[in-house]
Amino acid sequence: MPKPPKRFSNSNTPLPARPHFGDAGSAPKRKKREDSIGLPGNVEVVEEIPELIAFSELGLSEPIARAVSEVGFEAPTPIQARAIPILLAGHDLMGLAQTGTGKTAAFALPLLQRMDPDMRGVTQALVMAPTRELAVQVAAGILKLGKYTGLRVVPVYGGQPIDRQIRALRAGAEIVVGTPGRLQDHLRRGSLSLDNIKVCILDEADEMLALGFLEDMETILGALPETRQLAFFSATMPPRIGQLTKRFLKDAKLVSIESKRRTVDTTNQTYYEVPRGKKLEALARVLDMETPGPTIVFCRTRQETNDVAEALRLRGHNADPIHGDMNQMERDRVLKRFREGQSDLLVATDVAARGLDIDSVTHVINYDIPWDVEQYIHRVGRTGRAGRKGDAITLVEGRERRLLLSLERMIGAPIKPARIPTAADIAARRREVFRDSLVEVLEARNYEGHLSMVEELGESYDPAEVAAAALHMFWQSQHSSAAEVAEEVAADREQPESGMTRLFIGLGRQDGLRPGDIVGAITNEAGLEGKAIGAIDILDRTAFVEVPSHESENVIGALRRTKLRGRKPKIGPAHG
Ligand code: AMP
């Protein structure tokens, strides 16, 4: 049974008269200690958390809860379930969690909620991040979750002209996300003030130290108002983080996502390292290569299950999404199709896959890396059932490597690296599968009725040539050539010009599609001028067109309403 949720008062509670964690309801187990990892005595370790808490129980305000629901998060991740109540209650926090665990939303949601709506345009929150890439990513994450709050988020980092950032800051930003060096620059120039900071977050604190930002961090932390709330997030706890914690955190709680060691042994576990933004491509290739039986692909959000299932269908798989937003009838229908073999891929969120028990599942694919070992075990446990050996495959983007290593450590078994198959590997694999099915037909003598034609042709041609010609015809009707596959893969990867978005059209040369058809449809149906349309690539079975990003939804909508060459092809953003 889930424990009853704990309610916390939030936001504008004056500090330091903070409500005490766990005041309402039963208090979590806690203790103060000089930790073996060098944790100072001013940090209280929170070891137990409410299990299975729902977002609706966290006490998020309506505009924030609406955005959470819109991005499709179904349930808080472990670090969120632990950190959000503590931060909402106004405590300082030390969070031990790495990228991929959902740590950004863990601090972004309470941060958004603590902003004072009467102080528009005044900088009230500061997030420090080690790199430009992370700063931009965090700012985008906060913006998405804060969509309905009207709060402005400005990222500042080295490498971008400072004037542009100064203008953005002058225009008023309640939330500033930046690298320590550039933040210092702005403080020196007076383009940023810390006087009204209510919340300050250090993201990837250990990385910032490793990059030599200690001095900048200390200066900024030392200049914050007394009453600010402070949270550090870090994947590791080197002694210098302990020192910072001791010096700056007050009445703080420590939460971590470490859990008990667990084992899985009926499953082959591999991972593929995937370049950023290339997961769909990698998934498609892995599926082509593995030719698995019934497979469950795990995604994080509802939207992702829909997108991935749709993309797989476009590539000829029978894939169905399943997530918590579908009603019972829809879910039952999808599960029935899967059980009966009418679909071979179930693209699921964790919530939807809870308790799913299908013995025949041969593969579990983690499209997104699980946040912790519990989730990994739970997902992987959907395969290798009834004494069979299953396969568990995890797709990992560069930054998530660390999380993978800690998963590996927790399960005490290696997750073996594998190389993403190339187009040539896949073509070779297809030939192999084709050959195997041919042998099956030969062994079963399943060709009666066709022998007479071969005999007849055998009078004029070598029977081996007759067989080869028949194979050629069949192969042509079944597959694109390896060259075409490679061409499509390459085109799908093309990066559009800046300000432009690349769209995918599920129709190509073979269907008689020409550039004029695309231009005609876009100018007539979406009202764009011809010169606004960018590069057009027409391949054998698919096509790509670049349109201005701000018009992309308009164009997709218009193209979906109309016909191209008498057909209604799939239209959507290309997966760059
Ligand atoms: P982070 O560790 O903050 O880099 O987050 C990793 C990924 O998990 C991001 O793509 C988030 O959008 C996603 N994410 C964060 N929280 C949740 C959640 N509760 N449910 C589903 N996805 C989430």
Condensed to tens digits (0 to 9), the pLDDT of residues 45-74 reads 776 555 568 899 999 999 999 999 999 999
In a domain, 63, yes or no: yes
With bands split at pLDDT 50, 70 and 90, how would you rate the model's confidence at 126?
very high
With bands split at pLDDT 50, 70 and 90, how would you rate the model's confidence at 205?
very high
Do residues 433 and 373 share a domain? no
pLDDT over threshold 80, residue 524: yes
Do residues 37 and 179 share a domain? yes
pLDDT over threshold 80, residue 18: no
CATH code of the domain containing 503: 3.30.70.330
Do residues 67 and 159 share a domain? yes
Last residue in a domain, options 221, 256, 291: 256
pLDDT reported for residue 9: 35
Q: How far is the C-alpha of 518 from the C-alpha of 528, rounded, in Å?
A: 12
Do residues 137 and 246 share a domain? yes
Per the structure, the count of domains in the chain is 4
Of these ranges, 8-17, 280-289, 422-431, 490-499, the one predicted with the greatest mean pLDDT is 280-289
In a domain, 527, yes or no: yes
Do residues 157 and 74 share a domain? yes
* CA 241–ligand 1 middle distance (angstroms): 24
pLDDT over threshold 50, residue 37: no
Span 219-228, average pLDDT: 96
Q: How far is the C-alpha of 173 from the C-alpha of 119, rounded, in Å?
A: 10
CATH code of the domain containing 273: 3.40.50.300
pLDDT over threshold 60, residue 224: yes
In a domain, 564, yes or no: yes
pLDDT over threshold 80, residue 282: yes
Do residues 524 and 453 share a domain? no
Work out the mean pLDDT of the chain and round it to a whole number.
85
Span 358-386, average pLDDT: 85
pLDDT reported for residue 316: 82
Is the CB of 256 within 6 Å of ligand 1? no
Span 106-135, average pLDDT: 95
Cis peptide before 417 (omega within 30 of 0): no
Do residues 245 and 363 share a domain? no
With bands split at pLDDT 50, 70 and 90, how would you rate the model's confidence at 267?
confident
pLDDT reported for residue 486: 55
Do residues 457 and 505 share a domain? no
Do residues 447 and 507 share a domain? no
pLDDT over threshold 70, residue 33: no
With bands split at pLDDT 50, 70 and 90, how would you rate the model's confidence at 358?
confident
- Give the HSE-up count for residue 291: Cα atoms under 13 Å, Cβ half-sphere: 11
Query: Of 96, 177, 300, 406, which is best to mutate to test ligand 1, by the most ligand atoms within 8 angstroms of its C-beta?
Result: 300
In a domain, 11, yes or no: no
pLDDT reported for residue 38: 52
pLDDT reported for residue 67: 97
SS3 state at 113 = helix
With bands split at pLDDT 50, 70 and 90, how would you rate the model's confidence at 28?
very low
Query: Of 68, 104, 302, which is best to mutate to test ligand 1, by the most ligand atoms within 8 angstroms of its C-beta?
Result: 104
**pLDDT-wise least confident of 180-189, 353-362, 373-382:** 353-362
Give the structural domain span for 533.
485-573
Is the CB of 80 within 6 Å of ligand 1? yes
Span 400-407, average pLDDT: 88
Which residue is closest in CA terms to ligand 1's atom 14?
A: 102
Span 327-353, average pLDDT: 91
With bands split at pLDDT 50, 70 and 90, how would you rate the model's confidence at 151?
very high
In a domain, 496, yes or no: yes
Q: How far is the C-alpha of 444 from the C-alpha of 267, rounded, in Å?
A: 33
In a domain, 9, yes or no: no
pLDDT reported for residue 258: 67
pLDDT reported for residue 265: 65
pLDDT digits (tens, 9 = 90+) for 171-196: 999 999 999 999 999 999 999 999 99
pLDDT over threshold 70, residue 305: yes
pLDDT reported for residue 246: 92
* CA 217–ligand 1 middle distance (angstroms): 26
Q: How far is the C-alpha of 544 from the C-alpha of 508, rounded, in Å?
A: 9
pLDDT over threshold 60, residue 528: yes
User: What is the CA 366 to chain-centroid distance, rounded?
Assistant: 11
Q: What is the percent of the chain where pLDDT is above 90?
A: 48
Span 19-38, average pLDDT: 38
Span 443-461, average pLDDT: 88
Residue type, 495: Q
* CA 366–ligand 1 middle distance (angstroms): 14
Of these ranges, 150-164, 266-280, 524-538, the one predicted with the greatest mean pLDDT is 150-164
pLDDT reported for residue 203: 96
With bands split at pLDDT 50, 70 and 90, how would you rate the model's confidence at 484?
low
Using CA atoms in the order 203, 205, 206, 208, what is the torsion angle rounded to 10 degrees? 90
* CA 298–ligand 1 middle distance (angstroms): 13
pLDDT reported for residue 421: 87
Is the CB of 300 within 6 Å of ligand 1? yes
The tokens describing 156, both together, are 């500042």
Is the CB of 99 within 6 Å of ligand 1? yes
221 membership: H or E segment, kind and range: helix 214-222
Report the length, in residues, of the chain: 576
Ligand 1 closest atom vs CA 77: 19
Is the CB of 104 within 6 Å of ligand 1? yes
Do residues 194 and 219 share a domain? yes
Last residue in a domain, options 464, 479, 494: 479
SS3 state at 349 = coil
Do residues 149 and 280 share a domain? no
pLDDT reported for residue 356: 77
Cα angle 372-63-173, degrees, rounded to a multiple of 5 = 90
pLDDT over threshold 90, residue 427: no
In a domain, 402, yes or no: yes
Query: Of 58, 68, 77, which is best to mutate to test ligand 1, by the most ligand atoms within 8 angstroms of its C-beta?
Result: 77
The 3-state secondary structure of 479-517 reads: CCCHHHHHHHHHHHHCCCCCCEEEEEECCCHHHCCCHHH
pLDDT digits (tens, 9 = 90+) for 235-246: 888 889 999 999
**pLDDT-wise least confident of 129-133, 311-315, 320-324, 352-356:** 352-356
Q: What is the percent of the chain where pLDDT is above 70?
A: 86
* CA 537–ligand 1 middle distance (angstroms): 34
Last residue in a domain, options 256, 284, 313: 256
Do residues 323 and 211 share a domain? no
Which residue is closest in CA terms to ligand 1's atom 15?
A: 102
* CA 3–ligand 1 middle distance (angstroms): 24
Q: How far is the C-alpha of 303 from the C-alpha of 70, rounded, in Å?
A: 9
With bands split at pLDDT 50, 70 and 90, how would you rate the model's confidence at 490?
low
pLDDT reported for residue 413: 82
Of these ranges, 50-54, 75-79, 121-125, the one predicted with the greatest mean pLDDT is 121-125
pLDDT over threshold 90, residue 272: yes
pLDDT reported for residue 26: 36
Which residue is closest in CA terms to ligand 1's atom 18?
A: 73
In a domain, 8, yes or no: no
Say what the pTM is: 0.67
